[in-house]
Structures are given as C-alpha cells and as structure tokens.
Amino acid sequence: MARDIYYSHAIREALEEELARDENVILLGEDIAEYGGAFKLSAGIAEQFGKERVRNTPISENGFVGVAIGAAMTGLRPVVEIMFMDFIALAMDQIVNHAAKFRYQFGKQCKIPLVVRCPAGAGRGYGPTHSQSLERYFVATPGLVVLAPANPADAKGLLKSAIRCDDPVIFIESKLLYSTVGPVPEGDYITPIGEATVCAKGDDVTLVAYSRMVQEALNAAEALGAHDISAEVIDLRSLAPLDMDTVTKSVNKTGRVVVIEEGWLTGGVGAEVAARISEECFESLLAPPRRVAAADVPVPASRVLEQAATPDFKDIARAAAELVANY
C-alpha cells in the first residue's frame, strides 16, 4: 500500500525509521534539533531520539563534517545536513581529500558510512550563494556515491539505502521538490543505488534527467506528445555510480537524446553523460546528443533573471523537437 505524502515528509520518515532501526545512526547539522533545520525536515526528531543522537553544530561545515567522518570511521552512521548545498564548499577538503579516499587507503580496516544531505538548486530567488547545484564536483571525485531523487518515494528509499551504505554519500535534495506530493509505500523499503528508471516510454527521442528536472522532462514529453513526438524519459536517480545500461538501451532504440540538468552547462553531469552516450551509442545515433542546462552565470537573485537562466520544460521540448525535425 502507498499513500501520498510530501517529499520533505518522506525524507523525515526515512530519518526516523533509520534512527529507530540502528542505534548507530546519528544526525548532525546547524539548528537541526529544536528548530528542525532550515527547511524543517528534522522537526520533532530530537524529541523522539534525544539530543545525544540529534546534535546541533557550530557554523563550521569543515569542522562538523570532519567530526562526522571520524564518527563514521569509529562505527557510527552520521547523517549530516548542510543548510544550503552552496556551503558544502567549506567542507570540500574533508569530503574530497578524506572521506572519499580513506577506504582506498586503508581497505577493510576502514568504512565511511557517512551521508551528507544537501538542499540544492534555484527557483526561490535566494541569489547566487544559496541556489547552486554543485553535484558536478562530487561526481568527478572517485570514492563518493552521489544520489539525486526526483520524487517522494525515491527520496525515502534512496536515503535509507544511503544510510545503510558503507561508502560516503552526497545526497542532493532539490528545495523546490520539498513541497511536491507523491505516492510512498508504507513500511520498510529501499531504492537500489546505481539504478536509473524509465518514467515514460517513447520511440522518437530520449530525455535523460535527474532531481527536479525529471518533472520538467515529463512535462516536455507531454507537450511533445501533442505534436506526435514520442519521448522516453529516464530518471538517473544515481549520478555516481551511473546506470549507463538503462540510458544506452533507450538511446539505441530512439537514436536521439537530450540530457538535462539544473546546473551549469559547462563541465556538468550532462557533459559526462553525453560523452558516454557518444562513445557507447555512436552507431545508433541519428543526431548529436543535445544538452539542456542552466546558463553559465552565477544564479541571479532577480526572480525574472533566475527563471531566464534556469532550464524548464519549454527548453527541453524545443531541443527535442529540433532533433526530431532536423534528423
């Protein structure tokens, strides 16, 4: 059985269930206890599980992520909340030079079961330092798992998988998805890491997206359908590891592909996916892969400029329609 709940509530359920299931799970972050975090996702959890396991931290991302890595090395399973993903830059040394590398350095002597939760993305007019999608930096770092769920069911299932994972996980939550509603199964379940899913079937063009852009891709597919263009939509869900098998199977069928992300165009996840498609599907491609992404500018604070700089379903539909018309 499933019930419709908010994306934010699905994440809270995952945290509550994993705290109850495993006494080694702890939560760390700025204002997460009494206040419930910047977006209230941990509201009430400290009252349930106590402040020994739900701990407020100083405003020092490098410091408390480092503490979490040490806790993970010694047997705990910390879940760290970064208030805005932008601030994860302050902890890059701990994540990239320590968490990502210790299992390679120490082998079976060391596990890093750490989850770093990151509210990310634009759309709220928060400006250039509170609206970024920085997953590209972590996808490019060996040793890290990077997840980006697009709906409430996967938000819960992937977070539970992340908490049970023995590798460090960067868990990306689009801020605009918190208020979305969708069916979430009751009871204990997990969503497998490293498996993409086909959200809509189609034959003319493949749309590959993740996080908030999945719904934009679905909206684009609906718009394209009104013009007799059949689009297949793939939700990557996991950015590292990437499930290229699901992607290439679709592209080999359709011969055309648009890769979509909310982050900047240059050097993004879409560039990596498009490059792999070019290598693995070269003989099946009817057209060069297209990318749809944000403009290469800092995210504007102006809501009008922010909207202009950020991709939406119209940009996706236009790119897909051009591929079908020209090739």
Inform me whether the pLDDT recorded for 1 exceeds 90.
Answer: no
Residues 63, 114 share a domain: yes
d(C-alpha 251, C-alpha 233), whole Å: 11
Decide if 130 is catalytic: yes
Q: Residues 180-221: pLDDT tens digits?
A: 999 999 989 999 999 999 999 999 999 999 999 999 999 999
Average pLDDT (49-75) is 97
| Unique residue bearing structure tokens 């902890």 | 91
Last residue of a domain, one of 134, 163, 185: 185
Residues 304, 204 share a domain: yes
Q: Is residue 192 part of a domain?
A: no
Number of independent structural domains in the chain: 2
Inform me whether the pLDDT recorded for 124 exceeds 90.
Answer: yes
CA angle, 81 as apex, 213 and 173 as ends, to 5°? 10
Residues 212, 140 share a domain: no
Cα distances (Å, whole numbers) of residue 147 to 179, 191, 206: 19, 11, 21
> Which CATH number fits the domain that encloses residue 63?
3.40.50.970
Last residue of a domain, one of 154, 185, 216: 185
Q: Is residue 177 part of a domain?
A: yes
> Which CATH number fits the domain that encloses residue 252?
3.40.50.920
d(C-alpha 53, C-alpha 217), whole Å: 39
Catalytic residue among 13, 18, 61, 262: 61
307 is in which domain, residue-wise?
197-326
Q: Is residue 136 part of a domain?
A: yes
Residues 148, 18 share a domain: yes
d(C-alpha 123, C-alpha 303), whole Å: 8
d(C-alpha 285, C-alpha 278), whole Å: 8
Catalytic residue among 13, 17, 130, 262: 130
Residues 165, 50 share a domain: yes
Average pLDDT (103-113) is 93
Quick one: pLDDT at residue 269?
Answer: 97
With beta carbons less than 8 A apart as the criterion, state whether 154 and 184 touch: no
Decide if 34 is catalytic: no
Model pTM? 0.97
Last residue of a domain, one of 185, 216, 245: 185
